[in-house]
Structure 1
Amino acid sequence: MDPLLIGLAIAVATVLVLFSGVSVAIGLLLVATLFLLIFDGPRSLEALPELFYAELNSFALLSIPMFIIMGSAIASTRAGPDLYEALERWLTRVPGGLVVSNLGACGLFAAMSGSSPATCAAIGKMGIPEMRRRGYPAEVAAGSIAAGGTLGILIPPSVTMIVYGIATETSIGRLFLAGVMPGVLLVVLFIAWAIFDTWRRGAAATALSGVRYTWRQKIEILPRVVPFLLIIVGVLVALYGGIATPSETAAVGALLCIVAAMVIYRMVSHRELWLVLKDSTRESVMILFIIGAAGVFSFMLSSLLVTQSVAQWIAALDVNRWVLMAIINLFLLVAGFFLPPVAVILMSAPILLPIITSAGFDPYWFAVILTINMEIGLITPPVGLNLYVINGIAPDITLRQILVGSLPFVGCMILAIVILCAFPGIATWLPTAVMGVAL
Structure 2
Amino acid sequence: MSPLVIGLLYGGVTLVVLFAGVPIAFALGAVAVAFMIGFMPLASLGTVAQNVYQEIANITLLTIPLFVLKGAAIGRSRAGADLYNALYVWLNRVPGGLGVANVVACTLFAAMAGSSAATCSAIGSAGIPEMRRRGYSPGFAAGIIAAGGTLGILLPPSITMILYAVAAEQSLGRLFLAGLGPGLLLSGMFAVYAVLRFRKEYRDAATAGVEHPILRRDSYTMAQRMSALPRILPFLILLLGVMGALYGGFASPGETAGLGSVLALALIAIIYGAWRYSDLRPLLVASVRESTMLLMIVGMSLLYSMVMSYLHISQSAAEWIVAGHLSPWLLLMAILLMVVVLGFFLPPASIILMTAPIILPPLRNAGFDLIWFGVVMTIVMEMGLIHPPVGLNLFVIGNIAPDIPFRDVMWGTLPFVGIMIIAVALICFFPGIAMLLPKVVMG
Answer whether contact 2:86 2:231 (CA < 8 A) is retained: no
Q: How does 1:379-390 map to 2 (within 5 A)?
A: 379-390=386-397
Residue among 206, 212, 215 paired with 2:219: 212
Q: 1:208 to 1:368 in 2, by over 3 A?
A: farther
1: CA distance between counterparts of 2:14 and 2:90? 49
Aligned to 2:258: 251
1:406 offset after TM fit, Å? Answer: 0.4
Give the equivalent residue in structure 1 for 2:66: 66
- Unaligned runs of 5+ residues in structure 2 are 207-212
- The alpha carbon displacement at 1:181 in A equals 0.3
- Note the C-alpha offset of 1:204: 8.9
Instruction: Report Cα offsets for 1:55-79 as digits up to 9, x if no partner.
Output: 1122221111011111111112111
SS at match of 1:397: coil
* 8 Å contact from structure 1 (residues 56, 291) kept in 2: yes
**Contact 2:32/2:307 (CA < 8 Å) preserved in 1?**
yes
CA distance in 1 between partners of 2:176 and 2:285 (Å) = 27
**Paired residue for 1:158?**
158
1:147 maps to amino acid: A
Asked whether the 8 Å contact 1:110–1:116 carries over to 2, the reply is yes
Task: Give the AA of the match of 2:312.
Answer: L
Indicate conservation of the 8 Å contact 1:114/1:152, yes or no. Answer: yes
What does residue range 115-130 of structure 1 map to in structure 2 within 5 Å?
A: 115-130=115-130
SS in 1 for 2:251: coil
**TM-score where L is the length of structure 1:** 0.97
* 1:351 positional shift: 2.1
Show the counterpart of 1:423.
Answer: 430
In 2, the alpha carbon distance for the partners of 1:423 and 1:59 equals: 33
Q: Of the candidates 330, 350, 353, which is equivalent to residue 323 of structure 1?
A: 330
Q: In terms of mean alpha carbon deviation, does 404-413 or 28-37 score higher?
A: 28-37
2:358 equivalent in structure 1: 351
8 Å Cα contact 2:89-2:228 kept in structure 1: no
AA at the equivalent of 1:102: N
* Percent identity over paired residues: 52
Task: Tell me how far apart the structure 2 counterparts of residues 83 and 373 of structure 1 sit (CA, whole Å).
Answer: 28
Structure 1 stretches lacking a partner, 5+ long: none
Aligned to 1:31: 31
2:284 corresponds to 1:270: no
SS in 2 for 1:221: helix
Between the aligned partners of 2:262 and 2:325, the Cα distance in structure 1 is 52
Cα distance in 1 for residues equivalent to 2:400 and 2:342: 27
What root-mean-square deviation, in Å, do the aligned CA atoms of Structure 1 and Structure 2 show? 1.3
**Structure 2 Cα separation of the partners of residues 159 and 239 of structure 1:** 15
Aligned match of 1:194: 194
Deviation at 1:418, TM superposition (A): 0.8
Take 2:246 and 2:205, find their aligned partners in 1: how far apart are those partners? 42
Label 1:155 to 1:208 Cα distance change in 2 as closer, same or farther (>3 A). Answer: farther
Alignment-derived partner of residue 226 in structure 1? 233
Matched, 1:367 2:377: no
Change (3 A) 1:46 1:59: same
Shift of 1:199: 2.3
Counterpart in 2 of 1:310?
A: 317
Q: How does 1:287-298 map to 2 (within 5 A)?
A: 287-298=294-305
2:25 touches 2:297 (CA, 8 Å); kept in 1? yes
How far 1:113 moved relative to its partner?
1.0
What do the CA deviations read for 1:240-294 (whole angstroms, capped 9, x no partner)? 1221110011101101110111001111221111111111011001001111101
* CA contact 1:87–1:101 (8 Å) conserved in 2: yes
Give the partner amino acid of 2:99: V
- Give yes or no for contact 2:386–2:393 (8 Å, CA) kept in 1: yes
